[in-house]
C-alpha cells in the first residue's frame, strides 16, 4: 500500500488534528500541526533554530534569547545551536534574533517529508538491481560489516528477518528514547532493504549489499515528516556519536536550513546521498534541500543528489531534475522490505453494515475500490463548518499492548484543497472526542491506497472507528470522499513483509548502497573517490542528458571497478597513411622535398658527399629505394653531391 506524502500533481496535503466535541462534529480543532511560509513550505509553529557565533559566551547566548522572548527546547551542541520556542510570529522572532551580534543564523524549524509517492499496485517485480548491474558488482564484493550506512528516516523495523542480521543500534531524534528498532511508517524500512537486505539467505529480497551495517537515525515521524532541528542533529552525529561512512537521506523540502547545511559540512569524511524530490520540477529554479547543498552557492563536496528513473531508463514523471542533481537511479515500482502488521479490524462496507451510524449525508455508494460498496459523504448540498462523521460507536479493536497502530484504507476524494478534508477518525471514548487524519485536494478520480498513523493511541484497550469529513465555513464544494477496505492494524515487530512503492526516496538507497559496496571493495577510498567512482561510472542515457549533471544512470559494476571505466569506449586514433618512398633520385632539392611530403614522409638529414664525376649543379642521391613502405610519417635522409647521381 502507498505510504508517505502524495505526489504534488495530486494537489494533496496531509492534516492530522485532535477534535473535541460531539460525534456530529460540533467540536473545534485544537492546535494546528504545522504552519506554512509564503513558499508553502511547512514549519513547526512557535519554534526557531538558532545558531550562535563561535566563542560566544553562555551569558550572551541567554541574553540574545531573552531579548527575543525565546526559551530553549533542546541544545544541538555539535552545531553550537539551540531549538527554541518563541511567542507570536516566527518571522518576527527570527528578525529579532538575527539582529543580535551573538547569533550566526535563525531559521524556522522546517518540516521535511519522506520522498515517497503512493504505491502503484501494477508494479510487482524488482528490476533495479539487474538494471544497475549489481549482480556483476557482486563478483567483486557483496558488502562488508565494516561499512556503516546511517538511514535518516522513519526508523527501521529491525526485527524483520531480512534486515535483523545487518542491524546496529542508532538513535531516535523524534521522541527520544530507544525506539529506533520500530518504524511506524514503513518508509525507512523500505529504504533500508534496498541498501542492505540480507542476500543469499533464502528470505525475501536482496539489498545492494548482502552484508553491511544499517544504523537507524529516526528523524521522521509516523506520518513521514520531521524537522530540520532533528535532521541536522542526526546528520552531525554521523561523524561524532553515531559514526557512519555513508548517510542515506531520502527526504527533503524547499526550506533552506543553515543548521542542516552546517551539519553536512561538519562531517566532510561522510558521504551524504540525498533525494532530488518528487515535485517534477527543476531544482536549479526551485532548490530542494538537502539536495541543493551540493550545488552553488554551498557546493558541499560530500553530497550526491539522486533523481528517479523507471524500468526503461526514463526520468520518472514525479522526479525533480536539474544540473544540481547528479545522477539517476531506479525509483519507480521498487520492491523492498516493509514492516509487518497484525490486522485487528477490517471493514469492506459490504452487507451487513451494522452497527455503523451514518448521520447527515453519509451513505453507502456503489462506487468502490473492491467489493460492491464504499462509504461516502457524497451527496448534494453543503455541510456547513466543522466536522461530520459516520462511525461505529462500539469498540471494534483493542490496542492494548500494541505499538505502531495505524489505519490502512482505500480513499477516493475530491475536496477544496486546504479547506476540506476527507479521511478516518478513531476514538477511545465512543466519539466524545477523537483523533482524525484527513486528505485534501483530489485523488485524480481513483481510489488511492493510503495509511494514517494512529500510534498516539497505542496501548488503549478500546478503539472505535469512523469516516470523517471536515469542512470550512463554505461547506463542501466538490465531490467529497469515498472510503473502502478499511483496516486497523498494529506492528508485528518480528514479522516479515514487503512492499512496492515509488519515489526519489527509492532511487536514493540504490546509490547509497552502491557507495557502501565501493567502500567495501576499496576501504581506503576517500569521500572524493567514492563520488568519483559513482558519478564517473554511470551509464549514459540519452533521455537524461540535460536532466542530471552526469547525463547518466547508476551502474554498480562500473563503480566498484568490475566493469571498467564508465561511458562509451574511446574513439580509435585518427588514421595516418604510411610513408611510401617517392622517386627523387637526381631531382633538385626543392622538388624532392615537395615529393617526399606529398607521400606522407618527412625529410631527414641532408649530407654532402663527393661525386666520382665532375658536373655542375647539386643533385640528390636517394636512400632507401623508391616505392618502399616505411610506416606512418617515416623519415627519409637525403645526400647531396656533385655529378651524376647513383645509388649508394
pLDDT digits (tens, 9 = 90+) for 469-485: 888 877 666 888 999 99
- HSE-up (13 A, CA, CB side) for residue 378: 20
SS3 37: coil
| pLDDT, mean of residues 43-56 | 93
Q: How confident is the model at residue 3 (pLDDT cuts 50, 70, 90)?
A: very low
> Does residue 80 surpass a pLDDT of 80?
yes
> Does residue 151 surpass a pLDDT of 90?
yes
pLDDT of residue 542: 95
Domain ranges of the chain: 14-29+341-496, 36-112, 115-333+502-560, 578-642
SS3 166: helix
The CATH number given to 14-29+341-496 is 2.60.120.260
β-bridge partners, 423: 438, 468
SS3 192: helix
- Is the separation of the CB atoms in 153 and 195 below 8 Å? no
b/e sequence 102-111, b meaning 16+ C-beta within 10 Å: bbbbbbbbbb
Listed in sequence order, the residues at least 6 apart from 484 whose beta carbon sits closer than 8 Å to its beta carbon are 348, 349, 368, 369, 370, 371, 373, 374, 375, 409, 410, 411, 412, 447
Highest mean pLDDT among 111-120, 269-278, 389-398: 269-278
- Is the separation of the CB atoms in 147 and 229 below 8 Å? no
Q: How confident is the model at residue 374 (pLDDT cuts 50, 70, 90)?
A: very high
CATH 3.90.1150.10 given to domain 578-642 = no
Distance (Å, rounded) from C-alpha 71 to C-alpha 82?
Answer: 9
Paired sense of beta strands 480-501 and 433-440, if any: unpaired
pLDDT of residue 24: 26
> Does residue 341 surpass a pLDDT of 60?
yes
- Is the separation of the CB atoms in 67 and 101 below 8 Å? no
pLDDT of residue 621: 57
pLDDT of residue 469: 86
> Does residue 86 surpass a pLDDT of 60?
yes
Cell numbers representing residue 551 in the block? 547525463
| pLDDT, mean of residues 56-74 | 92
Q: How confident is the model at residue 361 (pLDDT cuts 50, 70, 90)?
A: low
> Does residue 284 surpass a pLDDT of 90?
yes
Listed in sequence order, the residues at least 6 apart from 474 whose beta carbon sits closer than 8 Å to its beta carbon are 382, 416, 419
Instruction: Report the range of poorest mean pLDDT among 12-21, 255-264, 307-316, 564-573.
Output: 12-21
Cell numbers representing residue 304 in the block? 550526491
pLDDT of residue 358: 66
Q: How confident is the model at residue 499 (pLDDT cuts 50, 70, 90)?
A: very high
Distance (Å, rounded) from C-alpha 3 to C-alpha 117?
Answer: 7
| pLDDT, mean of residues 244-264 | 97
For the chain, the straight-line distance linking the first and the last C-alpha, in angstroms and rounded, comes to 92
| Residue 323 or 2, more confident | 323
| pLDDT, mean of residues 12-16 | 23
Distance (Å, rounded) from C-alpha 314 to C-alpha 330?
Answer: 9
Instruction: Report the range of poorest mean pLDDT among 98-107, 130-139, 268-277, 571-580.
Output: 571-580
pLDDT of residue 636: 77
Q: How confident is the model at residue 383 (pLDDT cuts 50, 70, 90)?
A: low
| pLDDT, mean of residues 158-168 | 94
Please, what is the average pLDDT of the chain? 83
pLDDT of residue 600: 73
Instruction: Report the range of poorest mean pLDDT among 82-91, 185-194, 398-407, 626-635.
Output: 626-635
> Does residue 229 surpass a pLDDT of 70?
yes
- Is the separation of the CB atoms in 581 and 626 below 8 Å? yes
| Residue 48 or 597, more confident | 48
Instruction: Report the range of poorest mean pLDDT among 362-366, 431-435, 464-468.
Output: 362-366
Which helix (H) or strand (E) segment holds residue 60: the answer is helix 58-67
> Does residue 141 surpass a pLDDT of 80?
yes
β-bridge partners, 465: 392, 426
pLDDT of residue 572: 44
C-alpha torsion 266→268→269→273, nearest 10: 100
Percentage of the chain lying above the pLDDT 90 cut: 60
| pLDDT, mean of residues 192-206 | 90
Q: How confident is the model at residue 25 (pLDDT cuts 50, 70, 90)?
A: very low
β-bridge partners, 639: 607, 621
Percentage of the chain lying above the pLDDT 70 cut: 81
- Is the separation of the CB atoms in 427 and 463 below 8 Å? yes
pLDDT of residue 563: 81
> Does residue 7 surpass a pLDDT of 70?
no
Cell numbers representing residue 601 in the block? 614522409
| Residue 319 or 571, more confident | 319
Q: How confident is the model at residue 92 (pLDDT cuts 50, 70, 90)?
A: very high
Distance (Å, rounded) from C-alpha 508 to C-alpha 331?
Answer: 8
| pLDDT, mean of residues 128-133 | 92
| pLDDT, mean of residues 299-327 | 97
pLDDT of residue 50: 97
pLDDT of residue 623: 59
Biggest alpha carbon–alpha carbon distance for the chain: 132
Cβ neighbours of 251 (radius 10 Å): 31
> Does residue 16 surpass a pLDDT of 50?
no
> How far, CA to CA in Å, does 371 sit from each of 4, 139, 240, 483?
26, 48, 54, 12
SS3 81: strand
| pLDDT, mean of residues 233-245 | 97
**Cα dihedral sign, 111-116-120-124:** negative
pLDDT of residue 72: 95
Least Cα distance to 66 among 44, 82, 45 occurs for 82
- Is the separation of the CB atoms in 585 and 620 below 8 Å? yes
Least Cα distance to 496 among 290, 205, 260 occurs for 205
Crossing angle between the packed helical segments 187-196 and 504-521, to the nearest 10 degrees? 30
DSSP 8: G
Q: How confident is the model at residue 491 (pLDDT cuts 50, 70, 90)?
A: very high
pLDDT of residue 37: 41
Class at the top of the CATH hierarchy for domain 36-112: alpha beta
β-bridge partners, 47: 85
Pick the CATH number of 115-333+502-560 from 3.50.50.60, 3.40.630.10, 3.90.420.10, 3.40.50.200: 3.40.50.200
> Does residue 116 surpass a pLDDT of 80?
no
Cell numbers representing residue 109 in the block? 524549524
Instruction: Report the range of poorest mean pLDDT among 213-222, 496-505, 616-625.
Output: 616-625
pLDDT of residue 583: 80
pLDDT digits (tens, 9 = 90+) for 576-620: 667 877 887 777 777 778 878 777 788 887 766 555 444 445 556
Cβ neighbours of 231 (radius 10 Å): 28
Q: How confident is the model at residue 534 (pLDDT cuts 50, 70, 90)?
A: very high
Amino acid at each position: 500500500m502507498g505510504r508517505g506524502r502524495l505526489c504534488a500533481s495530486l494537489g494533496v496535503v496531509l492534516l492530522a488534528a485532535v477534535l473535541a466535541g460531539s460525534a456530529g462534529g460540533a467540536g473545534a480543532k485544537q492546535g494546528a500541526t504545522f504552519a506554512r511560509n509564503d513558499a508553502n513550505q511547512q514549519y513547526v509553529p512557535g519554534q526557531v533554530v538558532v545558531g550562535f557565533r563561535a566563542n560566544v559566551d553562555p551569558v550572551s547566548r541567554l541574553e540574545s534569547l531573552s531579548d527575543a522572548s525565546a526559551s530553549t527546547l533542546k541544545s544541538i551542541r555539535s552545531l553550537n545551536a539551540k531549538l527554541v520556542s518563541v511567542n507570536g510570529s516566527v518571522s518576527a522572532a527570527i528578525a529579532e534574533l538575527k539582529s543580535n551580534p551573538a547569533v550566526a543564523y535563525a531559521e524556522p524549524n522546517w518540516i521535511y517529508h519522506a520522498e515517497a509517492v503512493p504505491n502503484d499496485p501494477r508494479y510487482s517485480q524488482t528490476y533495479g538491481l539487474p538494471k544497475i548491474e549489481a549482480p556483476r558488482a557482486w563478483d567483486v564484493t557483496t558488502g562488508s560489516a565494516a561499512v556503516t550506512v546511517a538511514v535518516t528516516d522513519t526508523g527501521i523495523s529491525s526485527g524483520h528477518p531480512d534486515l535483523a542480521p545487518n542491524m546496529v543500534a542508532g538513535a531516535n531524534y523524534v521522541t527520544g528514547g530507544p525506539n529506533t528498532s520500530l518504524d511506524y511508517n514503513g518508509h525507512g524500512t523500505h529504504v533500508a532493504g534496498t541498501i542492505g537486505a540480507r542476500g543469499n539467505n533464502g528470505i525475501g529480497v536482496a539489498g545492494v549489499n548482502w552484508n553491511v551495517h544499517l544504523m537507524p537515525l529516526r528523524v521522521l515521524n509516523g506520518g513521514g515528516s520531521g524537522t530540520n532541528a532533528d535532521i541536522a542533529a542526526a546528520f552531525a552525529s554521523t561523524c561524532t556519536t553515531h559514526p557512519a561512512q555513508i548517510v542515506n537521506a531520502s527526504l527533503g523540502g524547499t526550506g533552506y536550513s543553515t543548521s542542516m547545511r552546517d551539519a553536512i559540512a561538519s562531517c566532510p569524511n561522510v558521504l551524504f546521498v540525498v533525494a532530488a524530490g518528487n515535485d517534477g520540477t527543476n531544482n536549479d529554479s526551485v532548490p530542494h534541500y538537502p539536495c541543493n547543498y551540493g550545488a552553488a552557492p554551498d557546493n558541499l563536496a560530500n553530497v550526491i543528489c539522486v533523481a528517479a528513473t523507471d524500468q526503461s531508463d526514463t526520468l520518472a514523471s514525479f522526479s525533480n531534475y536539474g544540473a544540481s542533481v547528479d545522477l539517476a537511479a531506479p525509483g519507480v515500482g521498487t520492491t523492498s522490505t516493509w514492516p509487518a502488521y497484525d490486522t485487528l479490524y477490517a471493514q469492506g462496507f459490504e452487507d451487513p453494515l451494522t452497527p455503523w451510524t451514518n448521520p447527515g449525508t453519509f451513505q453507502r455508494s456503489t462506487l468502490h475500490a473492491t467489493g460492491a460498496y464504499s462509504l461516502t459523504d457524497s451527496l448534494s448540498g453543503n455541510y456547513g463548518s466543522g466536522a461530520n462523521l459516520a462511525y461505529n460507536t462500539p469498540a471494534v479493536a483493542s490496542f492494548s499492548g500494541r505499538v505502531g497502530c495505524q489505519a490502512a484504507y482505500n480513499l477516493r476524494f475530491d475536496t477544496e484543497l486546504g479547506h476540506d478534508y476527507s479521511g478516518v477518525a478513531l476514538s477511545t471514548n465512543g466519539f466524545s472526542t477523537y483523533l482524525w487524519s484527513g486528505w485534501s485536494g483530489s485523488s485524480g478520480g481513483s481510489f488511492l491506497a493510503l495509511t494514517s498513523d494512529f500510534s498516539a493511541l497505542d496501548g488503549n484497550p478500546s478503539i472505535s472507528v469512523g469516516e470523517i469529513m471536515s469542512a470550512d465555513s463554505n461547506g463542501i464544494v466538490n465531490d467529497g470522499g469515498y472510503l473502502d477496505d478499511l483496516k486497523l492494524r498494529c506492528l508485528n515487530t518480528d514479522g516479515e513483509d514487503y512492499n512496492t512503492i515509488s519515489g526519489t526516496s527509492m532511487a536514493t538507497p540504490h546509490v547509497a548502497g552502491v557507495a557502501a559496496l565501493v567502500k567495501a571493495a576499496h576501504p581506503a577510498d576517500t569521500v572524493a573517490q567514492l563520488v568519483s567512482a559513482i558519478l564517473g561510472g554511470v551509464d549514459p542515457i540519452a533521455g537524461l542528458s540535460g536532466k542530471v549533471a552526469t547525463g547518466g544512470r547508476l551502474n554498480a559494476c562500473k563503480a566498484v571497478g568490475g566493469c571498467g571505466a564508465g561511458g562509451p569506449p574511446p574513439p580509435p586514433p585518427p588514421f595516418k597513411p604510411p610513408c611510401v618512398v617517392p622517386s627523387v633520385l637526381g631531382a633538385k632539392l626543392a622538388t624532392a622535398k615537395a615529393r617526399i611530403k606529398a607521400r606522407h614522409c618527412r625529410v631527414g638529414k641532408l649530407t654532402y658527399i663527393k661525386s666520382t664525376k665532375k658536373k655542375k649543379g647539386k643533385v640528390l642521391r636517394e636512400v632507401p629505394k623508391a616505392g618502399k613502405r616505411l610506416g606512418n610519417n617515416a623519415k627519409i635522409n637525403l645526400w647531396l653531391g656533385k655529378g651524376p647521381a647513383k645509388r649508394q
